[in-house]
Amino acid sequence: MSKTPSSTPVPFGLSRRSLLQAGGVVLLLGRQHLAQGASIVAVRVWPAPDYSRVTLESDIPLTAKPVFVPSPPRLAVDVEGLDLNPALKELVAKVRPDDPNIASIRVGQFAPGVVRLVIDLKQEARPQVFTLPPISPYKNRLVLDLYPAKAVDPLADLIADRLREAGSGSAVAGAAGSAGASGMIATPPPAVATAPQPPQADPLGDLIAQRSTATPTPPPVAIAQAPFPQRPAPTPVPPPAPRPPPSVNIATSRRTDRIIIVALDPGHGGEDPGATGPSGLREKDVVLKIGHLLRERINDAHIGGNPMRAFMTRDADFFVPLATRVDKARRVQADLFISIHADAFTTPAARGASVFALSERGASSTAARWLANKENQADLVGGLNVGGLQDQHVQRMLLDMSTTAQIKDSLKLGNSLLGEIGSMAKLHKSKVEQAGFAVLKAPDIPSVLVETAFISNPEEEAKLRSSAYQEQLADALMVGIRKYFAHNPPLARSRSV
């Protein structure tokens, strides 16, 4: 058995030998050695391309000392006031082979009352370690967020879809790291892991230009290994370009070959389950399914001859802060933003779908104000690292710059969607309501929040669980989007092509 290390705080330059110490005691600990201090309530791992999150929930606050080791990349965290127990051992098996960031997790008793977690990473990361106070439905949480050092660009999904559509893209798997601490409980190493590559500047603009001068058979592109294909450099003496047929206007073709982007925002996710129905249906799950169905319809559609593309702020079960949802939509220059939710109230009698837009002044009703306050608390439940935010004041100012024109267009979109939803489901209110929803504060994008039904109502929860109802709802939303664009054609996007 290893000699028990001293209680001296771990220095930043943690050696590999000290990092791997104390593994031999892990499997020898019996029930008589369990902690007298904090008790672990639950452990969770949330993988996502944006970042992967590890959460330790305990009955009392935990103190953690993190150390990041860059080569090979791993995060060591000493959690004080804690001894190894069965709940912590479960953390090892919760790492999924397809996690984009985490290769494995090892856990061991580093010292009496100190548990060490070692998170082996698949790529260099920017870790954030912070604590969260109790909030329903959680107790105290210690959160470890692993952000890739090269942040994922929200345009990447759109580029990948367009490349697949052209038949020229393919995902390439990279080798994953492995765990190997002697005596420590470790996750079996995954065989492969996808390593997305950040795109070059304005890749969507390049793609539009390529389509307007497309070659018959483009060469295959490995998305995970190479940046977006660049146009070949001109030769010193280029051959004369053939004249196009008289019926083809190149300038007009380039102006109209424009991708119409609809940002879909399934509410909640990850640590934030949203509302829960009487039989256990979770809001975050059902709105994600509806989002996927609507994405399929948008990606198959064209408006005025222009292809449509859906961009999802989250396409899996992970938490996205409210301001990040808005930022993602703005970075892909979305033409519309639709946030999808399933309402809940304190009594099961409330029922019906609703559509909301932002309000410049007060809420249009007491219920709208109540709902906006509830939805705006998603960051508290989901777990936002307030200390990690930069330029909070500037960010808040940007969110408050929503213009009268944006709200006017949002009301038009809301009325179009509400009319179609009302043709297949009961409405809670027959008009678009308004309140200060943080997620709708994109100053340059018409934005609405759709409450698909009251998940707290047993009958409506059953409908939301139904695949047929989900399909009908996605159809209605798609028709509403088409009708909005029929009366409000998308503006030309200023790009150099």
Q: Which of 102-106, 252-256, 397-401 has the lowest mean pLDDT?
A: 252-256
pLDDT of 364-386, one tens digit each? 778 878 888 888 888 888 888 87
Look up residue 285 and give its two tokens: 């799950």
**Mean residue pLDDT across the chain:** 77
User: Mean pLDDT across the stretch 38-48?
Assistant: 93
User: Mean pLDDT across the stretch 68-97?
Assistant: 93
Alpha helices in 137-259 (DSSP H): 155-166, 203-212, 250-256
pLDDT of 117-127, one tens digit each? 999 999 999 99
Q: pLDDT class for 52, splitting at 50, 70, 90?
A: very high
Cis-peptide, bond into residue 47, ω within 30° of zero = no
How many other β-carbons are positioned within 10 Å of the β-carbon of residue 465?
Answer: 17
Q: pLDDT class for 165, splitting at 50, 70, 90?
A: low
Q: What is the pLDDT of residue 369?
A: 84
Q: What is the pLDDT of residue 347?
A: 87
Q: What is the pLDDT of residue 383?
A: 86
Highest mean pLDDT among 79-93, 379-393, 412-426: 412-426
Q: Which of 208-222, 384-398, 456-470 has the lowest mean pLDDT?
A: 208-222
Q: What is the pLDDT of residue 35?
A: 38
Q: What are phi and psi of 40, to 5 degrees?
A: -80, 125
Q: What is the pLDDT of residue 402?
A: 55
In the chain, % of residues over pLDDT 70: 68
Highest mean pLDDT among 200-214, 269-283, 355-369, 381-395: 269-283
Q: What is the pLDDT of residue 257?
A: 54
Query: Does 256 or 349 have the greater pLDDT score?
Result: 349
Among the listed residues 316, 335, 312, 309, the one whose alpha carbon sits nearest the alpha carbon of residue 324:
312
User: Mean pLDDT across the stretch 387-401?
Assistant: 54
User: Mean pLDDT across the stretch 254-270?
Assistant: 83
Q: What is the pLDDT of residue 361?
A: 76
Query: Does 157 or 445 have the greater pLDDT score?
Result: 445
- HSE-up (13 A, CA, CB side) for residue 219: 8
Query: Does 28 or 21 have the greater pLDDT score?
Result: 21
User: Mean pLDDT across the stretch 54-73?
Assistant: 94
How many other β-carbons are positioned within 10 Å of the β-carbon of residue 386?
Answer: 10
Look up residue 306 and give its two tokens: 């222009």
User: Mean pLDDT across the stretch 105-131?
Assistant: 95
Highest mean pLDDT among 75-89, 401-415, 472-486: 472-486
